Amino acid sequence: MANGKYHKEVQEIIPILRDAAQQEILPRWGKVVEEVKGTSPSGYKDTVTAADKGASTFILDRVRKIWPGSYSEEDPCIDDPDRWAQEFLWHFDPVDGTLEFCNKMFRGYALNAAFLKMRKDRGHWPVAGVIYRPGDDTLVYNDGSPVNHFFRDGKLVDLPRPSRESVLGWVRAVDPSQRLIDFYETLGKNLGVSSHAVHLGGAGASIIDLLEGKINVLVYNYNLTREWDWAMAIPMIRAAGGFLCDLKGKEYESYNRKPTKDRSEYDLRGVIASIVFKKEEIIPHVPADLLEDRLPLVI
């Protein structure tokens, strides 16, 4: 399997993610106490734990020595001009799927890492990505090559050929949306196939499930995700021949956006991804009210 343009950078990050999991995340399995960062008007709680914070510090202490300006969900370094001045930097979600982690879904959470490159318009774009799921020692990365690298228990795994015989739609097990389940049923009818809602974990873990074929349509119909939930997946999904866009069919144009008081750095328009169905097969069937409010108010 050929190495990509950013193979060296990815190989530097992987052991740091593994060590963060071993030292800061797995020892806290089943022992963490949730802290509430914010609550949405609908009552949804945005939480954080010592595992998130410990893993973030562990990773950034090491990565920033090599890549200044690198940041994470728990340490966005919004006062550091290096974050927007560097040609290359990493960003991380140290425990993507905090609710899944707290609910002991060992395949429901992951560590996300995206390698960003500055473009001519000064915006950044993910050129490589890594997802590590400690619960079952699953690692997937794209280093800029036209293929993804998928490992379980340290061994390279050949992924099955994706099927489109039925719609296998992702639903977040810890926060299921009946509106989304109904959408998958409608989508299946419109495509002339059966449909099944598959209750799984958070964003990073769900991308692994998408690449592995456990699901073939991923619709994140909540308005709370930020760029670190999805940026790492862009190179992977493109290498697999798929797409990732918002609920209106528009691709996100840049990453590493500056936080604003109105919180518009959130990906407010949701996410749709697939590697077997085309965008044009899905978007026309998305109802205007599919997006649900989970955006927390800061407390």
Mean pLDDT within 233-255 = 94
Which SS3 state, helix, strand or coil, does residue 25 take?
helix
What confidence tier does 20 reach under pLDDT thresholds 50, 70, 90? very high
Which tokens go with 221?
A: 């119909």
pTM listed for this prediction: 0.94
Which tokens go with 284?
A: 């026309």
CA distance 285 to 85: 41
Q: Which domains does the chain have, with CATH numbers?
A: 7-156 (3.30.540.10), 166-290 (3.40.190.80)
What does each C-alpha distance from 160 to 14, 123, 211 come to in angstroms?
Answer: 24, 35, 9
Q: What is the pLDDT of residue 299?
A: 45
Which tokens go with 202?
A: 């958070």
Question: What is the β-pairing status of strands 243-245 and 218-220?
Answer: unpaired
Q: How many CB atoms lie under 10 A from the CB of residue 30?
A: 7
CA distance 241 to 279: 12
What confidence tier does 7 reach under pLDDT thresholds 50, 70, 90? very high
CA atoms within 13 Å, Cβ hemisphere of 153:
0
Q: What pLDDT digit, counting tens, does each position of 186-202 carry?
A: 999 999 999 999 999 99
